[in-house]
Each structure stands twice: as structure tokens, then as C-alpha cells.
Chain A
Amino acid sequence: MMATRFQRVVLSGMLIVASFVLRKTAASPVIADGFMLGAAMVAGIPIMRKAIGAIRYRILGIDALVSLAVIGAVYLGEYWEAAAVTFLFTLGDYLESRTLEKTRASIKALFNMMPDVARVIRDGQEMEILLEQVVKGDTVIVKPGERIPVDGTVIEGNAYVNQAAITGEAIPVNKESTDRVFSGTVIESGYLKIRADRVGEDTTFARILQMVEEAQDKKANTQKFLESFSKYYTPLIIVFALLLYIVTKDLRLSLTMLVIACPGALVIATPVSIVAGIGNGARHGVLIKGGEVMEKLGQIKALAFDKTGTLTEAKPKVTVIKSFGMEENELLMIAAIGESYSEHPLAKAIVNAVQEKLGSISEFAEESEIIPGQGLKAKVRGRNYLIGNRKLMLENGVRIEQEQEEYIRQEEEQGKTAVIVSDVERVLGVISIADTVRTDAKQLIADLKRLGIRKIVMLTGDNRRTAAAIAQQLGIDEHYAELLPEDKVRVLREVAQQFGPAAMVGDGINDAPALASADLGIAIGGAGTDVAMETADVVLMSNEIKKLAYAIGLSRATVRNMKQNIFFAIIVAALLLAGVLAKKVSLSSGMLVHELSVLIVILNAVRLLAYRQ
């Protein structure tokens, strides 16, 4: 049976030591040589097996180069060199796989976040079953400290849930009846009964894992170049070593040439950095889909934001209540009762405001009539009211005083929607409603400017006044309002032509075309919205938009790390080559430096795991 890499390293190392001891204790040098040869075989045979296996499929790899060198060394009677080369190569391989696992560890850690069992209710009985046996529609029970095993809807209970596995955000959120919960998240306190909507491979968490895994292997351009280069490199080196032998008749020199020319550090330079970078991102709720995306994200010069749902929460809220005579809460209450049958977002904002300020509403409108595009007429507590816009007032003969009109215009200039409340004769008051800007949006724009982004624009289908007000509030360079989805694509192209690579940031719901056509599409709040996760190149799982600055910083750090690695690998290769040609580097010391350089490259990438903003 095949021994593990570790066993081979230990065994061949012990044989080498034994051989030295035997030589010192003046036993027969033949036996010492035998031990040395044994060491070379223990470590070397698996290498040769791999080389032969590969040659059968017409691939010349590093294994072939090392095998050739070892056979040559044995032929020359250089048993120590043969043993040293194979030992170092195997040891290097072992250490590299251990350190490489470290760069991949943050992704592995994600995989361990799935529970093995789930507690479900079947036939009225609570029972524990294996995760694979849970089916859609099952009722799942989750207790404090446990991970939620499915994507589902809460049907009973109340709990604080840590959603870090999905969003990277460690502050627990409250979940209660009808809320959606995700698999892989943890209940910190409380208890939930959940209806399973998605199980197994269909859950958001499983899909994130799959995407992360595929992203790691989507190559950076630099990497593609290096790999195509190394395909021709190995055969070329063999030819070169052969020529070197023909010219110099120095077999030793030619063999050393074979070993040190292996492009190990150079080929591994890019993938290790990328994997570490993607792993770091995944742990913080940022999904970066591959090496190429990583390279692009760092080079972005312009950013276009969608407004609604991206810079704002897409939840209109009552911001100011202005009353002309009546008590403000009374005005709000009448409006809320009047709107109690309406599904309009503005109506919901008013109803929510009452529930927040005054508690639940126990009355309903006695009569109500919705007038599309204007508002509604309602009978509340025996009196008739009009709730809506200017047009509603005008058409029903309600006079708007000049002072009132000025106030309304002033509110509208600030990007708010003014809902006018009147009785059949006079305006009683104005309720201003606005979409609230995300609390971290302003910080983000400032951070992005600090990162040297040259142009930040906002694209929206909303009206000019609202757009202008929000752009000004956030410090956005330019805004484009009243756009249709195809207009967004056009503006984006213009921005990219003028300022360089441009990314589109959206919530993926109404801006999918722009996300897909941009140099780079970035979706926020990706957890749970499939379209966003599929179409975007970078997905911020949570709604925390400020993570975008972290993502850009991370990708720059990753690209920098990658460049350091490539630079280092080339320098080492050049020095070794010069050393060999000057006959200062032997077979074994060449191998030692080569393996060390690979390790250093990997360790450099491990540093990326510690990247914070």
C-alpha cells in the first residue's frame, strides 16, 4: 500500500541519518551506500511512479525532472545527492501541503458549519434525524447554541440568531414568526420552530459554499499566463539540459540544471494568494467569484450605485409631520385610519409610524375610496377626509394656502414625498415621507474616495429631486435620475469610457442587466436573493454596504501579495540559474533553495488571512 507523505519523509530521513552513522563508525562503506540508496528509493519511487503515470498521458511535469536527476545521480554513484534530492522534494511537498491547507482553512471552516443532525416533528413526535433525511415542508425545532439546519420560515417562537455564517455579521438579529432564517446560522438565545423551505444542496449556505469552491479555481489572468508558460517550460528545460550536456560533457551540471529549473514557486505564486484572499472574504460575508474578479475589483476606478435598496433601505418612513392647527399625533392617527385598507407603500409608512409612536390601531375607516395616482377619500369618526397629493386637493376643490404650498415645495426639494391631509374645505396638515438612507452609506462613500476611486455616481429610476437630495446628502459626485434599466447600462458604459473600469453596485432585483453588463457587478444583501448571487461578480451577503470598501481593500492586498510572490519566485529562479552555471550550487542545495522558496511563497499568502480593513 502507499505510505503517507509523512511516513515516507520520516523513513527516508532515518535511512539518511543511519547511512551517515554507519560511515562514521567505519563499518563497510558499501552498507552505508546501501542505506543511502534505500533512502533515495523510499522517497524517490513514488515520484517516479507519478512521472511515469504522467508520461503515459504525454505530460512532462516536475516529477519527471526530479526522476531524471535522481537516476543520473545514482548512475554517477552520487548516492548522497540522490537521497538528498528526493528527501528534500518529498519533505517540501509535505510541508507545502500542510501550509497550503492553512490558506484553504478558512474555507474548510465554512464547511464545518453545517450540523449533522436535525430535530424535526413527524407524526406529532419530536425526533432527531440525519440532515440528509430532512425534506421540504418538515417542521424543524432549533434550540439555543444549535445551528439552523435548513432555510425556512419561522412558524413559532422567538430567538436571537447569529447570522455570521451567511452575512459575516456577528451581531445577533431577532427572529420571530414569519421571518426567514438561513441554514448554518446559530441560535444564541431563544427557540424556533421552522418550516423547511429549502434543504440540503438548495440552501443559501450550501450554494455559497459551492460558489466559493468554484471561485477559488477561476483563474486570475496572471495565473493563466503562468500556467501556459509552464507547459512549454518543462520540455524546454530538458532540451536545454541536454544541450548543456552535449556542449560541456558535464552530466552533474546538466542534472542540477534539471532540478533547479522547476518552476514550483512561480506556478504556485498566484493561486495561493487568491485562495487566501477569497477565504478571507468568505469569512467576512463577501463572496468574490474568482481570481480574475479579484484582479478587476482592485483596479476599479469608478463606481455606479443603484439608489433604492442599495444606498437606501427601500423602506419609506414618515420623517416629519406638519400640522396646520390640529394636534400632530391626531393628524397622523386620522391619516392612518383612513389609509388602513390601502396597500400603497406610502400608506404602509403612515400606518407603521402610528404603530411605532402610538401603538396599534383599533379603528377602521367607515368608508374609503382609492383614487389611483392621487390618493384616497375616507370617512373617519364620522367626518370626510382627503389624503393624497396636490391633484387630489385641486380636483376636490380644497384650497392650498400659499404658505402651505411653500412648505410642501420645500419638503419636496429635499427629496421627500409630501402627503397632504385635508377635510372637505381646508388642508389640515402635511406628512413627509422619505426612503431612509442606509446608516453606513455616507461612511462608505468617504472610504471609497479615500481608496482613490475617481468617480462615484448614482443611477436611479426615481425622480430628479429625490435623487439630487440623496446624492447631496451622501457626497456622491454625480447622479442620473428617471432612468430605465437600459439607460443604466448606457450611462455605465459612458462612465467607464471616461474614467476607466467601472463597477455597478445594486441589490440585484431591478438592476440585473446593469450588474451583468458592467466591468464588474457587485450585489449587496445577496443572502436569499438568487438572481443577485448568480449575476454578480462580487456579492456582499449582508446589507452592510460599508463592506464594499473592505472588499476593495482586500482585493488590492491580494493582488499586491500575488505580485510579491511572483517577483520573489523570479528572483530566486534567476539567482539559482546563475549559481548553477557558475557551479556554486549542487543538486541537493539547489533543491533545498527551491523548496524553501515555494514554502516562503505559501507563507506569504498565509499573511493575507489576517487582513482586516
Chain B
Amino acid sequence: MITKYYQLETLTCPSCKAKIENALRRTKGVENVEVLFNSSRAKVTFNELIVSSDDIKRVIEGLGYKVLGER
């Protein structure tokens, strides 16, 4: 289980937050998600045996939000 922060493009509406959180929560292998609206960051805890960091990025980008970086 690892936790990563994804830096997203600036989020402008709080509904983006709900969107990304819901989408990631329904992704297999994702244990916990928190989107920090004000710092435009997603904090994701996931099982790297089931889902990869790239998969997570794909989900976020699939919703139309650019991922600028991860750490």
C-alpha cells in the first residue's frame, strides 16, 4: 500500500473534487482518495499490486484533468 500526491491543473470548482474522488474510489485497488481542492492535489492511497500509478493518472486524465506531477 502506498500513498502518492498528484499535482493537478488548478481546480476551479469544488464539483471537480467530487468528480475525481468518486471516479478514483470506484477504481479497483484504490484504498483511499482525498482531493485537496485548494492546493489542486489528489492524495491517493492504493495497492500497487492491483493498480499502477499510471492507471491512476489515466483515470484522472480521462475525466479531463491534466496531471502535472506526482510525488
Contact = CB atoms under 8 A, between A and B. Distances in A.
A134 interface: no
B64 A97 contact: no
B38 A217 contact: yes
Contacts of B18: 59, 61, 231
Interface residues of A, number: 34
Contact of B13 (A5, A57, A214, A268): A268
Contact of B10 (A56, A57, A101): A101
Contacts of B69: none
Interface in B23-71: 23, 26, 34, 36-39, 41, 62-66
B11 to A, nearest CB: 8
A2 B23 contact: no
B45 to A, nearest CB: 15
B7 to A, nearest CB: 12
A53 B23 contact: yes
A57 B12 contact: no
B19 A271 contact: no
A280 interface: no
Nearest to B38: A216
A50 B12 contact: no
Contacts of B12: 93, 96-97, 100, 268
A267 B13 contact: yes
Contacts of B37: 216-217, 271
A49 B66 CA distance: 13
Contact of B38 (A46, A97, A104): A104
A58 B10 CA distance: 23
Contacts of B34: 217
Interface in A344-366: none
B13 A62 contact: yes
A268 B14 CA distance: 7
Nearest to B14: A267
Interface string A268-295: 1001000100000000000000000000
Contacts of B19: 50, 53-54, 57, 59, 61
Contacts of B65: 50
Contact of A271 (B9, B38, B62, B66): B38
Contacts of A58: 22
A398 to B, nearest CB: 68
Interface string A370-396: 000000000000000000000000000
A121 B31 CA distance: 42
Given A213-B39, A214-B36, A271 B15 contact: no
A267 B16 CA distance: 12
Interface string A70-108: 000000000000000000000001001100110010010
B36 A213 contact: yes
Given A54-B63, A57-B23, A100-B10, A267 B15 contact: yes
28 contacts: A46-B64, A50-B64, A54-B19, A57-B19, A57-B23, A61-B16, A63-B64, A93-B12, A96-B12, A97-B9, A97-B10, A100-B12, A104-B38, A213-B38, A213-B41, A214-B36, A216-B36, A217-B36, A217-B38, A230-B15, A231-B18, A234-B15, A267-B13, A267-B14, A267-B15, A268-B12, A271-B37, A275-B38
Interface of A: 2, 5, 46, 49-50, 53-54, 56-59, 61-63, 93, 96-97, 100-101, 104, 107, 213-214, 216-217, 227, 230-231, 234, 264, 267-268, 271, 275
